[in-house]
Structure 1
Amino acid sequence: MDDTDRGILALLGADARMSLATLARRLKVARSTIQARLERLETTGVIAGYTLKLGEAARQGRLRATVMLSIEPRAQAGILTRLKAIPEVERVFTCAGRFDLLLQIAAPNTQALDQALDQISAMTGVQGSESLVHLSTRIDRAV
């Protein structure tokens, strides 16, 4: 990746709907160059897709939480399979440190959140969990 590729990613990170012509103008390269670069970035997996990022107004009806799990050795595959079946689980990350998995979950209300947390903590192989309920977003730079 060179400066042009990084420029494309930065501009698309700010506005994924930016046209090829606008990208070319801003980066001072030909439109065909942008097209070829985007195709290469997609083919090599640097760009995995284009998505919609919801604003705070759309997220207001969702209660969000981070759940940190300690799991038994060699239990991760089974736990991941069961987590996929829980619709409130949005993302799962492996991590180093005191916990083995970090989950981002969202639910429409406290009852649904509580039920999801109960399901997660009752899974075979889960040794312990800690949950943090999100109150408000102060900084969001995620692309």
Structure 2
Amino acid sequence: MDRIDQQLIAILRQDGRRAIADLAADIGASRATVRNHLNRLEDRGVIRGYTVQLNTDFDDYPVRAVMMIEIKGKPCPKIVKQLMGVPQVLAVHSTNGRWDYIVELGADNLSEFDDTIQAIRLFESVSLTETSLQLTTYKQVR
């Protein structure tokens, strides 16, 4: 990747809907040059697509959190299956750090959120949890 490619990617990370003419003006190149670079980046798979970032106020789940979970004994597939059976669990990640799993949660309201974390804490192999509400999302890549 050359300097122009790097500049285009940096700008598009901030605003994936930026017009070709604006991109050209931002980096001091012609529209044809920008279009050629974008086509090449897309063809090579460097740019796989363009996306929309939604305001979290319009998210399906107004209450979002991450829950770190420590398991008694060895982590096992059973706990993952239990977690994935909870409708408010959006993702389950295994980790190599202090916690055995990090779980992303989404709920419609605080009452539902509270019920969810209480239910997970009652799972047989869960020994310790720490949960943090997500307040503001500054960057999210999906």
Q: Could you tell me which residue of structure 2 aligns to residue 35 of structure 1? A: 39
Q: Could you tell me which residue of structure 1 aligns to residue 89 of structure 2? A: 89
Check 1:33–1:132 CA distance in 2 against 1; reply closer, same or farther (3 A cut).
closer
Within 5 Å, give how 1:57-72 maps onto structure 2. Answer: 57-59=57-59, 62-71=62-71, 72=73
Structure 1: 5+ residue stretches without partners: none
Give the whole-Å Cα distance in 2 for the aligned partners of 1:74 and 1:49: 36
Q: What is the letter of the counterpart of residue 118 of structure 1? A: Q
Q: Could you tell me which residue of structure 2 aligns to residue 8 of structure 1? A: 8
> Are residue 79 (structure 1) and residue 83 (structure 2) matched?
no
Aligned residues: 136
TM-score (normalizing by structure 2): 0.69
How far the C-alpha of 1:92 sits from its partner, in A, is 3.6
Give the whole-Å Cα distance in 2 for the aligned partners of 1:101 and 1:107: 19
How far the C-alpha of 1:109 sits from its partner, in A, is 0.9
How far the C-alpha of 1:124 sits from its partner, in A, is 5.0
Q: Could you tell me which residue of structure 2 aligns to residue 118 of structure 1? A: 118
How far the C-alpha of 1:115 sits from its partner, in A, is 2.8
Please state whether the residue corresponding to 1:104 is helix, strand or coil: strand
Runs of 4+ in 1 over 6 A off after TM superposition: none
Q: Rg bigger for which structure?
A: 2
Please state whether the residue corresponding to 1:51 is helix, strand or coil: coil
Give the whole-Å Cα distance in 2 for the aligned partners of 1:85 and 1:64: 18
Please state whether the residue corresponding to 2:139 is helix, strand or coil: coil
TM-score (normalizing by structure 1): 0.69
Once the two structures are superposed, residues 53-82 of structure 1 have per-residue CA deviations (whole angstroms, 9 ceiling, x without a partner) of 22243259712222111134241x443444
Q: Contact 1:20–1:34 at 8 Å: present in 2 too? A: no
Percent sequence identity is: 28
Q: Contact 2:75–2:100 at 8 Å: present in 1 too? A: no
Q: CA RMSD in A?
A: 3.1
Check 1:124–1:18 CA distance in 2 against 1; reply closer, same or farther (3 A cut).
farther
Q: Could you tell me which residue of structure 1 aligns to residue 138 of structure 2? A: 140
Give the whole-Å Cα distance in 1 for the aligned partners of 2:128 and 2:60: 29
Q: Contact 1:79–1:125 at 8 Å: present in 2 too? A: yes
Q: Contact 1:90–1:103 at 8 Å: present in 2 too? A: yes
Q: Could you tell me which residue of structure 1 aligns to residue 129 of structure 2? A: 129
